[in-house]
Amino acid sequence: MKLYNTLTHKIEEFVPMQQGKVGMYSCGPTVYSHPHIGNFRSFLVADLLKRFFEFKGFQVTHIMNITDVGHLVDDADEGADKLEEAAKKQKKDPMEIAQFYTDSFMQASKLLNIKPANKYPKATEHINEMIEIIKKLIDKGYAYVVDNNVYYNVEKFADYGKLSGNTLEELNAGARIEVNQEKTNPQDFALWKHDPKHLQQWDSPWGKGFPGWHIECSAMSSKYLGAEFDIHTGGEDNIFPHHECEIAQSEAASGKKFVHYWLHTRFLMFDGEKMSKSKGNLYTIQELVEKGFRKNAIRYSLISSHYRQNYNFTFDGLKAAQQAIDKIQQCVLRLEDLRKNAKAGEIRPELKDLSSNCLKDFDESLSDDLNISKALGVCFDFIREANKAENMNSTEAAALLDTINKIDSVLGVLEAGESEVPVNIIELAEKRKAAKLAKDWKTADAMRAQITSLGWTVEDTPGGGYRLKRAGEAG
RNA sequence: GGCGGCGUAGCCAAGUGGCCCAAGGCGAUGGUUUGCAAAACCAUUAUCCGUGGGUUCGAAUCCCACCGCCGCCUCCA
């Protein structure tokens, strides 16, 4: 398994800390608004990676945080807090807002068939853990207190900048930072903030206040995965400052290497443009579903291109994704028919090879820094060969189905189970079948037209049978 | 100003020195099949990989220049 490590700027062989096990932390949502498709691309990359590790037989412990403490809107630690802004606007308690959007996030995750993390720790439930780390950082001389605020002194951490490449000199040269007189260095970041206007307040050794942004991930990752763990994922924007600061805090506090492999997902574009509120192209999963796009097509579309590539999300792309999934699903339906209705027998060697080669190539493709395009190519080559195979017995069909299911354990795009067909649709299909037997094509076509008008599709199968599908849905 | 990425067919996209007259998906066209369809299968759809140079026996792949697009740089995944 090879992965591109942002820390080393290289593709590296993945070596887990414990054989057969992977500890993985993903930066989750900040719950002051509905997460959009861009957020979910990043979450889906984590899901794909996790599923692939499981495909390879690893036992994965996956932690995804829920940030329910708002962060400052402006730069330089000043300005309004997003969660609080939302709370004030909607005249609600910050925790109500957080819960509402957490629910929205969970619902969308489920729609996208994202495997739940082992734990979704909330920042507000780990204030004590954060305080403990801050204390340790003060004791070790990495942090200092000024006027009930605690700041991290970046100069004390020699490796500051090793992830992002932003050295202190360069940051000074860039000088986009407003000078805060309290800080020793302009780049020092807040570990604990004092602000009486803030709605969310907790007691601390430095008086009432609230935690800085970065500290939550240091606190929660070490609590659930240990001070040192395998993989940390997030969006590319997290590289600096968030992950840079996490490294500084965690490594200074523990004295250990924090994360072995850093994976960052590049931003999603919408129709060639950056997504933003002003452009009105921040779609949520729920909105796309309401527009009539299938949830598995949304998933397919979002995972179908390489995670280190900007992905241009378009409605045409979504339609193409739907067609692509239909192709797989269609093959599954055919194989299921054969598995149920054909006779048992031996598996021909060429079909055995087809399956094993497919799984091997699929594995190799994704093992190459999650080369999903290549993996999908392997998958479709297999589908074509499976469709071509003639006179298949039920044993063979079952074996090929098993292969597709193994692949889909990673892709997660196939619809589970068959949809319930209403009785009236079955009646029409039966009438059509009878008419066809009588060679009464006029009646048969009329029946088909009726079925179509009711939103279903009839497909004839070999041997005079038929298959019913909901229109626009293979399966 | 600093850091980084990209430019391959109508669209999406893999390939990073010979296996490439370049995978796979979507779309399109023709065919097989079908009572007609649908689905499936077959064939065609890039002799060439932003442009111009260079290195090499050999380049989409390496080097240089240019053009174009995009991201990050204090809280947006």
Measured CA to CA, the distance from residue A411 to residue A362 in angstroms comes to 11
Query: In this structure, what DSSP letter does residue A346 have?
Result: P
Q: Which residue is nearest to nucleotide B25 (CA to C1')?
A: A324
**Strand B-contacting residues in A 176-205, CB cut-off 7 angstroms:** 176-177, 186-187, 189-190
Measured CA to CA, the distance from residue A179 to residue A290 in angstroms comes to 47
Note whether A41 and A285 are within 8 A (CB). Answer: no
Which is higher by pLDDT, A29 or A187?
A29
Q: Which residue is nearest to nucleotide B15 (CA to C1')?
A: A374
**Strand B-contacting residues in A 370-399, CB cut-off 7 angstroms:** 371, 373-374, 376-377, 379-381, 383-384, 387-388
pLDDT of residue A464: 80
Give Cβ neighbours of residue A76 (< 8 Å, ≥ 6 apart).
A177, A178, A180
Q: Which residue is nearest to nucleotide B23 (CA to C1')?
A: A377
Q: Model confidence at A170, in pLDDT bands (50, 70, 90)?
A: low
Of all nucleotides in the shown strands, which has a C1' nearest the CA of A76? B74
Three-class secondary structure of residue A211 per DSSP? strand
Give Cβ neighbours of residue A147 (< 8 Å, ≥ 6 apart).
A182, A194
pLDDT of residue A115: 96
Mean pLDDT of all residues in A197-210: 89
Measured CA to CA, the distance from residue A284 to residue A222 in angstroms comes to 31
For strand B, give the nucleotides within 7 A of a protein CB.
1-6, 11-15, 23-27, 34-42, 69-77
pLDDT tens digit string along A262-275? 999 988 888 777 77
**Side chain identity, residue A292:** G
| A237: CB within 7 A of chain B nucleic strand | yes
Query: In this structure, what DSSP letter does residue A178 have?
Result: P
Q: Model confidence at A82, in pLDDT bands (50, 70, 90)?
A: low
For A272 and B69, how far is CA from C1' in angstroms?
10
Note whether A282 and A36 are within 8 A (CB). Answer: yes
Phi/psi region, residue A79 (left: phi>0; alpha: psi -120 to 50; beta: rest), is left
pLDDT at A157 over 60: yes
Measured CA to CA, the distance from residue A7 to residue A164 in angstroms comes to 8
Mean pLDDT of chain A: 87
Which is higher by pLDDT, A176 or A437?
A437
| A76: CB within 7 A of chain B nucleic strand | yes
What is the β-pairing status of strands A268-270 and A311-313? parallel
pLDDT tens digit string along A393-409? 999 999 999 999 999 99
ipTM value greater than 0.95:
no
Give Cβ neighbours of residue A95 (< 8 Å, ≥ 6 apart).
A68, A124
Terminal Cα distance for chain A, rounded: 34
Alpha helices in A113-185 (DSSP H): 127-139, 168-174
Q: Is the peptide bond before A196 cis (omega within 30 degrees of 0)?
A: no
